Structure 1
Amino acid sequence: IRKQQVEYLKEYMNKHYENGDYVIMGGDWNQLVSNAQLSDPKFVKERPEWLVELPKDFTDGGFKWAVDPSVMTVRDDVKKYVEGENFVTIIDGFIVSPNVEIVNVQGKDLKFENSDHNPVSAVFKLK
């Protein structure tokens, strides 16, 4: 079902952009939205099987990811959060169409106090 969801979102965002709309979609993607960690051997070794990469062509057509690579946005929930022990990565953020400028993206490192996710906020400018 994940593949169908990704295909639907890609089709949806491209259709709206082609119609002249501004496209900003954000949230918990449940898939890697940043490849910042893929070169880290520890990450590759500990990466859970549920964590997959989005298709390379997902951003074709000039779409851009708006993520804060300095703040991990999700942790595993196998056990209570202990900094440095739980698996963490980035799966929360925004994707924007070429007619949207990314002004600022900021992850809030709340140490997963209230959730298994940390929040992400962003500022955009319509071109």
Structure 2
Amino acid sequence: MIQAVTVAGLLVVFGATAGVAERNLIPTLDNRPDVCPDQPPEPEWMQNIDVRESYKRLLIQQIYRAQSMERVVDSQNCDCPARYPTWEDAVRVYTERYVSSEYWDVIEATSAYRRQANELRRAAMPICEATGNW
């Protein structure tokens, strides 16, 4: 009997806590980034890509991310134009190498670019933290 009351009490406390926490999560429509607020936006065609082809958008985003981290590490510079360049180079790489690729080839390439970006991230992070752009 005591166990049942204890469990019921804990459920009430956890339920109330979850409700309070949920109410504190207020979504905002402000998409301004904290770092480098003038980041170039993705090309509009990428934002409007058909849902069935969203895997292509993800590949371009990972190419962009890997290029960004590589540029920071190579130049030892993390100013906003180095960290957030235009999307042209990433789109060009996608167009030249992957535009006619099969689904699984795009998925594999996305994973490869993600791994590359994650490896470079370790070296880029202290450079960007030093300039306040992390």
Do both proteins adopt the same fold according to a TM-score greater than 0.5, normalized to the shorter chain? no
TM-score by length of 1: 0.31
When you count strand as a share of all residues, which structure comes out higher? 1
Larger radius of gyration: 2
When you count helix as a share of all residues, which structure comes out higher? 2
TM-score by length of 2: 0.30
